[in-house]
Structure 1
Amino acid sequence: MTDSMVEPPVVEVTGVTKRYGPTVALDGVDLVVAPGQTHALVGRNGAGKSTLVSILTGLQAPDAGRVTFGGRPAPRLADRDAWRQLVACVYQKSTISPALTVAENLFLNRYDRGRTGLINWSATRRRAGELLAAWSVDVDPRALAGDLSVEQRQFVEIARALSFGARFIILDEPTAQLDGAAINRLFERIRHLQKQGVTFLFISHHLQEIYEICDVVTVFRDARRIVTAPVAELPRTDLVAAMTGDAAFTERQEDLRTVDAAAPAALSVRDLTGADGVYRAVSFRIAAGEIVGLAGAAGSGRTEVAETVVGWRSAVAGQVEIVGRRPRPGSVPAALAAGAGFVPQDRHRQGFVPGMSVADNGTLSVPARLGRFGFINTGRRDAIASGLIKNLAIKTPSPRLAVSGLSGGNQQKVVMARALADDPRLLVLINPTAGVDVRSKEFLLDKVQQTAGSGAGVLIASDELDDLRVCDRVLVMFRGRVTTEFGRGWHDHELVAAMEGMDLDA
């Protein structure tokens, strides 16, 4: 093949630099994504990935360097239509409007209109159905987007991007809220779209996924590109070393805690049954100082049980006792008053108030310690927050910085800080390391072990195997019931098989 026949890169970034005051977010970075690839972009939080995405999608301009698409310069920032035809990003936090139907989301401000100028809804829905069918997205155009699963919303966003003509899709942590089966379906869809000429930039903290779906990987660290290599030629240890800057990856220190099974119960759950049968007759006990995992695929009931324990939802039958007290069902304040701390599943929607400061977010659960008669003593608040920032190693220039200005890993640390602010006797965490970098994950899980070492009970509801490795016991839920229990030393294939309802001995 001659050089003239070689396709230009879908996108090429050359010497791009971006500064925010004294902070260098990107330092002369290069990136080349070839047509038809799934190209991974990895790095710890704060490495510069989000800044690059904002430049690749035309949300901001670089201070230096250039970006080309198909060999042509990037459009002006104001030309949003031109950008939509080139690139789209499916973010971890969905941009689909839940109050609108699928068809309305797909063609927002692009509806079919009749001769009178009124919207022709039947034509719009028909066109939406044709678009979804063309890209093999099995979703009803008339369905409310708010009723869709996370997986379905992602497919709708991809279809919407393709409808503008874009054939370069950025997937930002697309698997953070998906279970194993949904991840497999997403990967199948990516491979299918690749064959149809769609190129992907895949951003993930789950390194195993990089080796499953990606062709090439680029590592960012400290605002710079460190390495770009074919995935098949880059050993896992070298990939992690490039991300962290370590000569070799250091595993989390061995947990030397011992658990007294006869210790008082931090949590006792008896015959808990949820509405609509999402979980049924669930019973278990967590001793003080014990870490118990609640594993299972999406729809298994694990998340709903954990949310019931902390009063996020109510059960139709059964009892919850926290340190010997029975909090009022369906009341988060009652669960916190009984001694619980809580890290919810989705930090963006449930974990923090983005416009509020680190100090305010970190102390939301301890208002009585901030002042009298409902008034906040800002000095006392900042002193408490400074202690939390130090304890959780939160990287922030000031306790008064808005949480929205932090990286994902530091945002999750703020959520954890609030959960620990009142020294809980029971810590409940749902997917506690979703969407955070390798080092933040290690730090958060170490903090969980320290919390248990202080005598608190811990419940971790997750399908992430790394989250579950710190547990003294893992209870597996399948179709609303606890089906299996594992002690320490379980094997991945055994746990995953139990989560999928498979009997390896059959």
Structure 2
Amino acid sequence: MTVLEDAVAAVGVSKHFGATTALSGVTMRIAPGETHALVGRNGAGKSTLVSLLTGLQRPDEGEIRFGDAWRGRVACVFQRSTIIPSLSVAENLFLNRQAGRGPIRWGALRRRAGELLAEYDVGVDPAALAGELDVEQRQLVEIARALSQGARFIILDEPTARLDGPAIERLFARMRSLSASGVTMLFISHHLQEVFAVCDTVTVLRDARWVLTRPVADIGHDELVAAMTGEAAGLAGATDRRPADAAAPAVLELSGLGLHGAYEPLDLRIRAGEIVGVTGSGSSGKVSLAETVGGLRRASAGTVQVGGEPVGTGVPAALAAGIGLVPQDRHREGLVPLLSVAENATLPIAGELGPAGVIVPARRRAIAEELIRRYDIRAEGPGAPVASLSGGNAQKVVLARALSTRPRVLVLINPTAGVDVRSKESLLGAVRAAADAGTGVLMVSDELDDLRHCDRVLVMFHGRVTAELQAGWSDTDVVAAVEGVSA
């Protein structure tokens, strides 16, 4: 019997970034012509494996192998488009290969582009400006470009993250057609129902390690979710935190709050002392929701109220209303790297640091020292540059600043991302203490350990709240809801 060679294989690959192990001894084999799913929670190692398959990184151990028919014929369609918006569709399709020798013949280029688009059933004008295309059209142009370059192994990295239902179905129809023609695909998605809809085989990574590879037809939803989480159904996810007072007044009320293109109008009430978690995939709208409440985005519909009073637009209005925010990107949005720990931590309360708007250095230093002590910030002192801190301690400074105003509402976006275990415990302890003192907390997070501290967890899927889980949920409950399948 003849055994077909693998189209692509990663064999015992490991990759380290400093002290962090991104992949550890992972093996994955992809058969010719199959659509192979790669799934795992955030941080499982999926992106690192893709970087090895595409040649962007070299493995520290192990090797990447390609069959003769697939070597040099690899393309990746990333979640973030690589289309150049200022060029035409035709120019994007034939980027760096517009012509051989001599000047570009624009008419011939557009005709070639039209023929290519027609071949792959992409209804786009080749002369149109690429920046005017919608998300689905840009993605199809990228796929057509890859195929026109002779790609026979295509990596689709979260291809449905920004598509609506009908567009997803059209993408799947094209994927099935490509598979029938012999194109091999690696499909990466957070939505497990899509794996069952369009893939032949699935590989699961967890904590940088290979967990299983199985034909999709031979694995059920529950088993796949359990493989991703390392937990069987029914394990409790609660902590020993005292539940919020059900009779406490609402401190945050969202009424019909919506943002066009990000999330649909929703209602939400958070009581004093209550911690409400929000989770979902990257396309769920969860981060946009938190940024709207925190003043970073302007809602297209609905209202935000704190203590029964409407909140204006923008960060100053949110601060004045009593909303503290820990943003998603501490480096770009949370810290001023050239300023000290004391200056960063006390920015929102500068008016309290001296008379007539004049900051008294001793007053600022005293408050900063108290914040450093309270939030266990490991720094040489209040005057240390915030840029000199570790990631966990920098995040503590961002949280300390958000809490320095004694907010009625605290909004957190992935508050423990990229921090070590000790810093995570310290950060979450500070959040619990704020809630125990009466602050209402809206915590957006991808981390199950963060969500365990919540009184309830809302799950968003493609811009809508699709589930509300009370305390006592299991990891399986959350992951299944995030992935859009039944546990």
TM-score by length of 1: 0.62
What is aligned with 1:134? 119
Q: Please report how far the alpha carbon of residue 230 of structure 1 lies from its aligned counterpart in structure 2 after TM superposition.
A: 1.5
Within a 5 Å distance, the mapping from 1:411-450 to structure 2 comes to 418=398, 422-423=402-403, 424-427=407-410
Q: Which ranges in structure 1 are unaligned for 5 or more consecutive residues?
A: 75-82, 391-397, 404-409, 437-442, 500-506
What is aligned with 1:42? 39
Aligned length: 442
Q: 1:11 to 1:116 in 2, by over 3 A?
A: closer
What is aligned with 1:353? 332
What is aligned with 2:315? 332
Q: 1:309 to 1:19 in 2, by over 3 A?
A: closer
1:204 maps to amino acid: S
> Which of 131, 150, 157 pairs up with 1:172?
157
Further displaced range: 134-143 or 31-40: 134-143
Does the alignment pair 1:311 with 2:295? yes
Q: Please report how far the alpha carbon of residue 91 of structure 1 lies from its aligned counterpart in structure 2 after TM superposition.
A: 2.5
- C-alpha deviations, 1:429-484, integer Å up to 9, x for none? 79x79x99xxxxxx9xx99996867644456899xxxx9998869899999xx999
1:368 maps to amino acid: L
Q: Separation in 2 of the partners of 1:179 and 1:250?
A: 33
Larger Rg: 2
Does the alignment pair 1:230 with 2:215? yes
> Which of 58, 61, 71 pairs up with 1:61?
58
What is aligned with 2:8? 11
Does the alignment pair 1:92 with 2:79? yes
RMSD of aligned Cα (Å): 6.0
Q: Separation in 2 of the partners of 1:189 and 1:209?
A: 14
Q: Separation in 2 of the partners of 1:207 and 1:259?
A: 33
Instruction: Report the 3-state secondary structure (helix = DSSP H, G, I; strand = E; otherwise coil) of the residue aligned with 1:59.
Output: coil
Q: Separation in 1 of the partners of 2:28 and 2:206?
A: 14
Q: Please report how far the alpha carbon of residue 260 of structure 1 lies from its aligned counterpart in structure 2 after TM superposition.
A: 6.3
- C-alpha deviations, 1:3-57, integer Å up to 9, x for none? 1xx5432112333344445655444432210122121223344443333221211
- C-alpha deviations, 1:295-319, integer Å up to 9, x for none? 9999999987765544344468975
Within a 5 Å distance, the mapping from 1:88-487 to structure 2 comes to 88-112=75-99, 117-118=103-104, 120=106, 122-245=107-230, 250-253=235-238, 263-268=248-253, 286-289=270-273, 308-314=292-298, 320-324=304-308, 326-329=310-313, 331-341=314-324, 353=332, 366=345, 368=347, 387=375, 418=398, 422-423=402-403, 424-427=407-410, 455-457=438-440
Q: Separation in 2 of the partners of 1:175 and 1:385?
A: 45
Q: Please report how far the alpha carbon of residue 176 of structure 1 lies from its aligned counterpart in structure 2 after TM superposition.
A: 3.8
- C-alpha deviations, 1:245-303, integer Å up to 9, x for none? 55777353389976767644423456879899x989x8775543567899999999998
Q: Separation in 2 of the partners of 1:473 and 1:61?
A: 39
Contact 1:352/1:415 (CA < 8 Å) preserved in 2? no
Q: 1:359 to 1:287 in 2, by over 3 A?
A: farther
Contact 2:202/2:213 (CA < 8 Å) preserved in 1? yes
Q: 1:458 to 1:144 in 2, by over 3 A?
A: farther
- C-alpha deviations, 1:217-246, integer Å up to 9, x for none? 223345443322212323445444544555
Contact 1:90/1:170 (CA < 8 Å) preserved in 2? yes
1:288 maps to amino acid: A
Instruction: Report the 3-state secondary structure (helix = DSSP H, G, I; strand = E; otherwise coil) of the residue aligned with 1:422.
Output: helix
1:68 maps to amino acid: R
Contact 1:358/1:414 (CA < 8 Å) preserved in 2? no
Q: 1:486 to 1:66 in 2, by over 3 A?
A: closer
1:321 maps to amino acid: Q
Q: 1:18 to 1:318 in 2, by over 3 A?
A: closer
Instruction: Report the 3-state secondary structure (helix = DSSP H, G, I; strand = E; otherwise coil) of the residue aligned with 1:188.
Output: helix
Instruction: Report the 3-state secondary structure (helix = DSSP H, G, I; strand = E; otherwise coil) of the residue aligned with 1:353.
Output: helix
Q: Separation in 1 of the partners of 2:31 and 2:129?
A: 36
Contact 1:291/1:460 (CA < 8 Å) preserved in 2? yes
Within a 5 Å distance, the mapping from 1:483-502 to structure 2 comes to none
Q: 1:460 to 1:354 in 2, by over 3 A?
A: closer
Q: Separation in 1 of the partners of 2:467 and 2:206?
A: 40
Q: 1:148 to 1:323 in 2, by over 3 A?
A: farther
Contact 1:40/1:202 (CA < 8 Å) preserved in 2? yes
Q: Separation in 2 of the partners of 1:292 and 1:157?
A: 39
Q: 1:321 to 1:24 in 2, by over 3 A?
A: closer
Q: Separation in 1 of the partners of 2:311 and 2:35?
A: 49
Q: Separation in 2 of the partners of 1:478 and 1:201?
A: 22
Q: Separation in 2 of the partners of 1:201 and 1:17?
A: 19
Q: Please report how far the alpha carbon of residue 419 of structure 1 lies from its aligned counterpart in structure 2 after TM superposition.
A: 6.9
1:127 maps to amino acid: R
What is aligned with 1:440? none
Q: Which ranges in structure 2 are unaligned for 5 or more consecutive residues?
A: 354-358, 379-385, 419-424, 472-476
Q: Separation in 2 of the partners of 1:483 and 1:43?
A: 22
Q: Separation in 2 of the partners of 1:252 and 1:447?
A: 17
Q: Separation in 1 of the partners of 2:172 and 2:430?
A: 32
Contact 1:354/1:402 (CA < 8 Å) preserved in 2? no
Q: Please report how far the alpha carbon of residue 161 of structure 1 lies from its aligned counterpart in structure 2 after TM superposition.
A: 1.8
TM-score by length of 2: 0.64
